[in-house]
Structure 1
Amino acid sequence: MTAFAALHHADTALLLPNAWDHASAAALAAQGFAAVGTTSLGVAAAVGLPDGTAATRDATLNLALALGSGPFLLSVDAEGGFSDDPDEVAGVARELAAVGAAGINLEDGRPDGTLAPVELHAAKIAAVKSAVPGLFVNARTDTHWLGNGGDSDGSDLMSDVGGDMDDTSRRLDAYQQAGADGVFVPGLSEPSRITALLKTVDVPLNILYSPTGPTVPALADLGVRRISLGSLLYRRALGAAVETAALIRAGRSVEGPAPTYDEVQAFVRPASQRPDTLG
Structure 2
Amino acid sequence: MTAFAALHRPGTPLLLPCAWDHASAFALAGQGFPAVGTTSLGVAAANGLPDGASATRDETLRLALTLGSGPFLLTVDAESGFADDPDEVGEFARQLAAVGAVGVNLEDALGPPGRHAAKIAAVKRAAPGLFVNARTDTYWSGDGDPGETVRRLDAYREAGADGVFVPGLTDPARIAELAARFDIPLNILLSPAGPTLAHLADLGVARVSLGSLLYRRALGAALETAADITAGHPPRGTAPAYADVAALRGGQ
Task: Give the Å deviation of 1:256.
Answer: 1.6
TM-score (normalizing by structure 1): 0.88
Q: Residue deviations 1:193-235, cap 9 Å, x none? A: 1112223212000000011110001001100000000000000
Task: Give the Å deviation of 1:125.
Answer: 0.2
**1:27/1:267 contact within 8 Å kept:** yes
RMSD of equivalent CA atoms: 1.1
Relative to structure 2, which stretch is displaced further, 244-253 or 81-90?
244-253
Amino acid at match of 1:214: P
Match of residue 150 from structure 1 = none
**2:10/2:204 contact within 8 Å kept:** no
Return the alpha-carbon distance in structure 1 between the equivalents of residues 113 and 3 of structure 2: 29
Return the alpha-carbon distance in structure 2 between the equivalents of residues 63 and 76 of structure 1: 9
**2:4/2:73 contact within 8 Å kept:** yes
**Are residues 1:128 and 2:126 paired?**
no
Return the alpha-carbon distance in structure 2 between the equivalents of residues 218 and 11 of structure 1: 9
Q: How does 1:14-29 map to 2 (within 5 A)?
A: 14-29=14-29
Change over 3 Å in CA distance of 1:15–1:91 after alignment to 2 = same
Return the alpha-carbon distance in structure 1 between the equivalents of residues 181 and 198 of structure 2: 22
TM-score (normalizing by structure 2): 0.98
> Secondary structure at 1:60's aligned position in 2?
helix
Q: Which runs of 5+ in 2 are unaligned?
A: none
Q: Residue deviations 1:116-143, cap 9 Å, x none? A: 1111000000000011110000000000
**Are residues 1:170 and 2:165 paired?**
no
Return the alpha-carbon distance in structure 2 between the equivalents of residues 253 and 136 of structure 1: 45
Q: Which runs of 5+ in 1 are unaligned?
A: 110-114, 148-161, 272-279
> Secondary structure at 2:250's aligned position in 1?
coil
Match of residue 259 from structure 1 = 240
**Are residues 1:225 and 2:232 paired?**
no
Match of residue 249 from structure 1 = 230
Return the alpha-carbon distance in structure 1 between the equivalents of residues 180 and 237 of structure 2: 43
Return the alpha-carbon distance in structure 1 between the equivalents of residues 159 and 119 of structure 2: 9
Return the alpha-carbon distance in structure 1 between the equivalents of residues 181 and 52 of structure 2: 28
> Secondary structure at 2:183's aligned position in 1?
coil
Match of residue 153 from structure 1 = none
Task: Give the Å deviation of 1:97.
Answer: 0.4
Return the alpha-carbon distance in structure 1 between the equivalents of residues 13 and 179 of structure 2: 14
**Are residues 1:63 and 2:63 paired?**
yes
Match of residue 157 from structure 1 = none
> Secondary structure at 1:193's aligned position in 2?
helix
Match of residue 74 from structure 1 = 74
Amino acid at match of 2:215: Y
**2:23/2:249 contact within 8 Å kept:** yes
Q: Residue deviations 1:238-257, cap 9 Å, x none? A: 01001101111111111321
> Secondary structure at 1:105's aligned position in 2?
strand
Match of residue 275 from structure 1 = none
**Are residues 1:146 and 2:127 paired?**
no
Task: Give the Å deviation of 1:180.
Answer: 0.2
Return the alpha-carbon distance in structure 2 between the equivalents of residues 269 and 49 of structure 1: 28
**Are residues 1:186 and 2:167 paired?**
yes
Return the alpha-carbon distance in structure 2 between the equivalents of residues 95 and 128 of structure 1: 11
**1:68/1:100 contact within 8 Å kept:** yes
Match of residue 103 from structure 2 = 103
Task: Give the Å deviation of 1:269.
Answer: 1.4
**Are residues 1:211 and 2:206 paired?**
no
> Secondary structure at 1:268's aligned position in 2?
helix
Change over 3 Å in CA distance of 1:69–1:222 after alignment to 2 = same
Task: Give the Å deviation of 1:175.
Answer: 0.3
Return the alpha-carbon distance in structure 2 between the equivalents of residues 10 and 180 of structure 1: 17
